[in-house]
Amino acid sequence: MIEIEVKVRIDHEAVIPLLDEIGASFERKEHHNDIYYNAPHRDFSMTDEALRLRECNGRSYLTYKGKKMDAISKTREEIETPVIMSDMQNILELLGFTESGNVRKVRQIFECNGFTVSLDSVEGLGEFMEIEIMSDLNIDYYRKKIFELVELLGASSSDSIQRSYLEMLLEIQN
């Protein structure tokens, strides 16, 4: 599947009333602890890929994200599967994968006309909004609709951030 996603920095107190106004429904709150890995055979920071092990509200997932497909959003292939955290960490380490960073965040998830709107409070970075949909079809159409929703929620398409939270955190650390 292709994850069609746009991320912007935004004040959550300002956007929550706008979500209410357009009929978005609150779904749930999640606590994410994301550990990113780098491969022994290629550098994911150079290939624009990501391998993430996520612990979320007592469950764990391994996610591969492919290269971004454009320069204005974070649209890319995504494959995710449930795993047992400690077993997957052992497997990755035995295969030579190394940790490249950790991202902790609290995510409030809303549903709005088939799109997922996530309000992220990222430790060390601040507040963001991600709007996404998963699809293998009509990628340009959905990207356009996401940018329309971004505008409705008080941000501009020019505010779109292509960098991952990990990239932003590593930039601050260096």
At 19-48, the pLDDT tens digits run: 999 999 999 999 999 999 999 999 999 999
Percentage of the chain exceeding pLDDT 70: 100
Domain CATH code at residue 87? 2.40.320.10
User: Residue 174: its pLDDT value, please?
Assistant: 83
**Looking at the 3D structure of the chain, how many domains does it have?**
1
pLDDT tens-digit readout, 155-165: 999 999 999 99
Mean pLDDT over 43-60 rounds to: 96
Mean pLDDT across the chain? 97
Q: What are the residue numbers of the active site?
A: 36
pLDDT tens-digit readout, 119-151: 999 999 999 999 999 999 999 999 999 999 999
Residues 6+ positions from 75 with CB-CB distance below 8 Å:
2, 3, 4, 5, 68, 69, 139, 143
Q: Which domain holds residue 49?
A: 2-173
Residues 6+ positions from 1 with CB-CB distance below 8 Å:
77, 78, 79, 134, 135, 136
